[in-house]
Amino acid sequence: PSEIVVQPAGIKNPIRLRLRTSDISVCDLILLGHHYNMELPFTPKTIVDVGANIGMASIYYAHKYPDARIIALEPEASNFAMLVRNVKPYPSILPLQAALWNSDGYIAVSSSGPAFNTDRFVVHECGEGGGAPVRAITVRTLMKETQIHSIDILKIDIEGGEKEVFETSDWMDSVRCLAIELHDWVKPGCSTAVKSAAGDFSALQKGDTTFFVRKSQIKNPMPSTPGTPL
């Protein structure tokens, strides 16, 4: 078979995973390993999942925060098709095929090369390496089109694209918590761009993900959560 159907403990609906891809390991990391578990000093109402892949983080957040509205962005066509199938039972999750970028328009999605697994992709300017074109969208445009005024959790895993996204970060005042995987080994400068934009945030490292929480939201010390303060 090309895919399997699983239903991890605590997950309300079955999930489809493609064999011979990273789908199984991603499911294990997020739904079984609780990779995005961070006890926040507020209850999120709006979550944006950027680089949503096949929907594991969105589904995790839908169970952890059942009253939250979740917007899931995924640019790559095959991943997006699986995302749509996996989140269909969750009316709180809105899947959008687009890539977050520093300007509106179109960019390209292509295989990321030998440094990655074959099912991982990067986005880049059209004409810089081929690949299928996909809509590019800024945070401001995303918020306007989805009619949201703030983002309680902004989860980003976009294989180096964070450098371009955070080079223009006039929207960070609308974000309360940022959960991001930095990819300096793919594109140097990612960490510098993100940390420069997150000057008003406290940071906590958990595995490959850095959690930034706005300091004004923290009335008491950060709740006890596995991780290493930066």
- pLDDT tens across 39-53, in order? 999 999 999 999 999
* Residue 84 to residue 167: CA distance in whole angstroms: 30
pLDDT at 226 over 90: no
- pLDDT tens across 69-116, in order? 999 999 999 999 999 999 999 999 999 999 999 999 998 877 754 444
N-to-C CA span, the chain: 44
Cβ 180 vs Cβ 155: under 8 Å: yes
Average pLDDT for the chain? 88
Q: What global pTM score does this model have?
A: 0.89
